[in-house]
Amino acid sequence: MLVISLVAVIKLLLLFLAFMLLGTVGFIMASFRNKVPFVPTPKRIIRMMVDMAGIQPNERICDLGSGTGRIIFTAAKKNKQNLVVGFEKSFTLRLISKFWLWVRPWLKKRVRIIEADFFNLDLFDYNVIFCFLTPEAMRSLAPKFQTLKPGSRLISYMFPLEDTQNFQEAIEHVGDKDSIYYYKKVS
């Protein structure tokens, strides 16, 4: 009897996991209708991006389209004197981020997850900006990036800025397909 109920529990758990996987895949596929789809950044890339940013104490950090919060949590764990803000439009992704923040209560004072369409934000007050956006989104944000204060850094995964005027640029090629683009505002 105990073996049968244990087998039933395992089957239910596997069924639940299968539905979760299908739901996740469906959510990701549906997000491709947006200008900025949800595609998780690999953990090793996140670590490299945060290291590459050269974050100093008390700098303000943000992630444009923060998804499930993986970049903001990594930045907050590594930089204990900084405010880290994730801007996310999707209710579902914000909910997941807030759940992960609830699981990490020691980060609550330094992490904010904000409902916002980052195309309408003023980014001037941020010293470090992380993004994994489409080329179209990068083009749309280019005028905002030009208004950043000198010394501000933009760290972009996969897609570069087309207009690098007023920026110092460095590129880290990670494997055959992946690249991290570092831009420091010089004027």
Q: Examine the domain organization and report whether 142 and 176 are in the same domain.
A: yes
The confidence band for 32, taking pLDDT boundaries of 50, 70 and 90, is very low
- What is the pLDDT of the chain when averaged over all its residues? 87
Sign of the CA dihedral running 148, 66, 74, 113 = positive
As given in the structure block, the two tokens for residue 25 are 């895949």
Residue bearing tokens 């010089």: 186
The DSSP secondary-structure symbol of 148 reads S
pTM of the model: 0.81
Question: Which residues are within 8 A (CB) of 45 and not within 5 positions of it... i.e. 6 or more apart?
Answer: 157, 174, 178, 180
Q: Examine the domain organization and report whether 93 and 147 are in the same domain.
A: yes
Q: Which domain holds residue 155?
A: 43-185
154: helix, coil or strand?
Answer: strand
Q: Has residue 38 been placed in a domain?
A: no
Q: Examine the domain organization and report whether 61 and 4 are in the same domain.
A: no
Q: Examine the domain organization and report whether 77 and 121 are in the same domain.
A: yes
Number of structural domains, the chain? 2
Q: Examine the domain organization and report whether 91 and 173 are in the same domain.
A: yes
Q: Examine the domain organization and report whether 100 and 142 are in the same domain.
A: yes
pLDDT in tens, 45-76: 999 999 999 999 999 999 999 999 999 999 99
What was the pLDDT predicted at 11? 73
141: helix, coil or strand?
Answer: helix
CATH number for 154: 3.40.50.150
As given in the structure block, the two tokens for residue 57 are 């104490």
Residue bearing tokens 């395992």: 10
Per the model's pLDDT, the better-predicted residue between 8 and 116 turns out to be 116
